[in-house]
Amino acid sequence: MKLNRSLPTAAFALVLLIPCSSMTFAQQVGAELPNYPPVANTRNEIRMQLTPRQRTILSTEIPGRVEQITVKEGQSFTAGQTLISLDCSIHQARLDKAEAQAREASQVSQVNQQLDRLGSISVLEVGVADSRLDAAQAEAALMQAIVDRCVIHAPFAGKVESLPVKQYQFVAEGQELMTILDDSVLDVEMVVPSRWISQLSQGHEFELYVDETQKSYPARIERFGAAIDAVSMSIKVFARIDGSFPELRAGMSGTARLSPL
């Protein structure tokens, strides 16, 4: 009988101990959590990067040996300036041959036309001579186009970003010769949460801080990306800097302060 009376007493004491031990555990966990900064302080700041408005890779359209490189990495150039020239002696010889054959075909065609007026030649022979003239002229035009590709001209004014080839090096068709860019106009690229677009619009002014210069610059939104990334729920935003700042270079990064949001 004494054993039966002690069982309810022990069970009651265990029930009283359970909430006390749970509260102590919660207090211990709460004390160990890191003190994160409030989210509201950083929700209107996003990482950004400065990119050149024009940037391209120049490749060779024909195989050949690099004969001359007129610029160096980091050097500026003007639009239309010769950047690289390839050895074109073989292609030039083929062009000379094609032009000579075109002149020969032209002379034959002229003689046949004179004979045709005199009735001393068949219509078939006149037509064949004209066709051979067209083929010779087409071959000469083809060789002229190949010779023109021996010289690489700058499509716009800018700077040389990279130059992986060397003088006297043989390059294959389609091989990269150099990367060029125009940093006279820099775009600001950033990826923002898609929910922000309801509060952003074209012409929205904001401030951006560049890490490399440790300065702030005025900017404004110019356009938005064509589509929202459904996985990350983000969209690309493009902006431009208001004003000219010579110290800025392509590739610099920093923080865009899009306030208020």
Rounded (10°) angle between helices 123-148 and 89-118: 160
CA distance 246 to 76: 14
Tokens of 165: 């080839």
pLDDT in tens, 123-138: 899 899 999 999 999 9
Residues 6+ apart with CB under 8 A from 248: 50, 186, 210, 213, 217, 241
Q: Exposed (0-12), middle (13-18) or buried (19+): which is 222, by Cβ within 10 Å?
A: middle
The answer as to whether 218 is a domain residue is: yes
| Domain harbouring 82, CATH code | 2.40.50.100
Instruction: Look at residues 182, 167, 164 and name the one whose alpha carbon lies nearest to residue 59.
Output: 164
User: For each of the chain's 261 residues, which pLDDT tens digit applies?
Assistant: 444 544 444 444 444 444 444 444 444 444 454 443 333 344 588 999 999 989 999 999 999 999 999 999 999 999 999 999 999 999 999 999 999 999 999 999 999 999 988 888 888 998 999 999 999 999 999 999 999 999 999 999 999 999 999 999 999 999 999 999 998 889 999 999 999 988 899 999 999 999 999 999 999 999 999 999 999 999 999 999 998 899 999 999 999 998 765
CB 77 within 8 A of CB 71: yes
Whole-structure pTM over 0.85, yes or no? no
Residues 6+ apart with CB under 8 A from 37: none
| Domain region containing 77 | 55-177
Number of domains in the chain: 2
Tell whether 68 and 172 lie within a shared domain: yes
Tell whether 65 and 121 lie within a shared domain: yes
Let me know how many helices (H) and strands (E) the chain has, helices first.
3, 12
| Domain harbouring 194, CATH code | 2.40.30.170
pLDDT in tens, 75-111: 999 999 999 999 999 999 999 999 999 999 999 999 9
Tell whether 87 and 194 lie within a shared domain: no
Q: Which of 137, 157, 177 is a domain's end point?
A: 177
CA distance 204 to 9: 72
Tell whether 212 and 222 lie within a shared domain: yes
Half-sphere exposure of 181 (CA within 13 A, CB side): 18
